[in-house]
Structure 1
């Protein structure tokens, strides 16, 4: 499975299925593998940043650089494990853990108000001013009982974001 030119065996499929906590069916895993192999044009067993950026939907995503930091260089098994956060079977904690990783700009296990403002800047572009972004972040933190100077742990982050509904399910197309 390290080299994408080989086909998945039943053992590989079951291994990936277990690794992603059965959040994808075996047919979905095979479909994801085909897509993974199509993206891994170099055949190295992982998708490079350039290969990810060749996908128009990925390239225009305002968080593409943050997502690259999470996805680039993952082998297929690791890639599916990350994608499992988008499964309808994933828990809210799994989804929030993925979002936390996007916001954790320094990869230090904490999200500061500056991290949140930076991600909000990526998401909002010119639609919000820096002052408006600061106000949004400050209000979200204060409504959850935190100050703007506090760095959120994953548990704190869950508290802040779980105040609203969260939907991030993706259907895997099966060929």
Structure 2
């Protein structure tokens, strides 16, 4: 005979939304909605309550092929560096895109996104890799000359001390002069 007060089976990876909401700018109902999104991503290939890199790439770009941008974002979302994203990682990482998060935090995240080698600087080759990856994702192909012109303009505007790399202060200065570059750092439907 079964127990009268059995608890319903929870989806693998489920976490109580109340503590997560208290650690982030998300409300409890937003954390619950994020769990629904998490479930659909984490169960797309392997239903184990975790998001693996292939599932993440599939969710972002509807392809399982390796993509520099998806891979880099995955690495930043994989807070504990375990090779997968659990629900806590997912919520904590998405928190950076909430409208109520200070712009300084968003700038820091975007700097780390471009600093592919984790050197504390954004180098020309890193910007080129990201630019080529983005253009490829959008189905665009620019000539090498056009890409070099974009890089020249970016570094002429951002690399104030002209040392061939963009440090954190230069990045902050650059994005403050180019606020449209930070639009992707806020999910408008959370307002």
Kept after mapping to 2: 8 A contact 1:19/1:77: no
Distance 1:159 1:19, change over 3 A: same
Shift of 1:96: 1.8
Distance 1:134 1:14, change over 3 A: same
Q: Give the number of the structure whose alpha-carbon radius of gyration is greater.
A: 2
Question: Which of the pair is proportionally richer in strand?
Answer: 2
Q: How does 1:135-146 map to 2 (within 5 A)?
A: 135-144=149-158, 145-146=160-161
Q: Which range moves more in the overlay, 51-60 or 130-139? A: 51-60
Q: Is residue 20 of structure 2 the alignment partner of residue 16 of structure 1?
A: yes
Flag structure 2 segments of 5+ consecutive residues without an equivalent: 1-9, 79-83
> Aligned to 1:154, which of 145, 158, 168?
168
Distance 1:68 1:97, change over 3 A: same
**Residue in 2 aligned with 1:32?**
34
> Aligned to 1:80, which of 88, 91, 95?
91
- With structure 2 as the length reference, what TM-score do the two structures score? 0.71
**Residue in 2 aligned with 1:94?**
105
Q: Which range moves more in the overlay, 131-140 or 24-33? A: 131-140
Kept after mapping to 2: 8 A contact 1:13/1:29: yes
Shift of 1:57: 4.0
Kept after mapping to 2: 8 A contact 1:117/1:133: yes
1:48 and 1:7 map into 2 onto residues whose CA distance is 16
* Secondary structure, counterpart of 1:147 in structure 2: coil
- With structure 1 as the length reference, what TM-score do the two structures score? 0.77
Flag structure 1 segments of 5+ consecutive residues without an equivalent: none
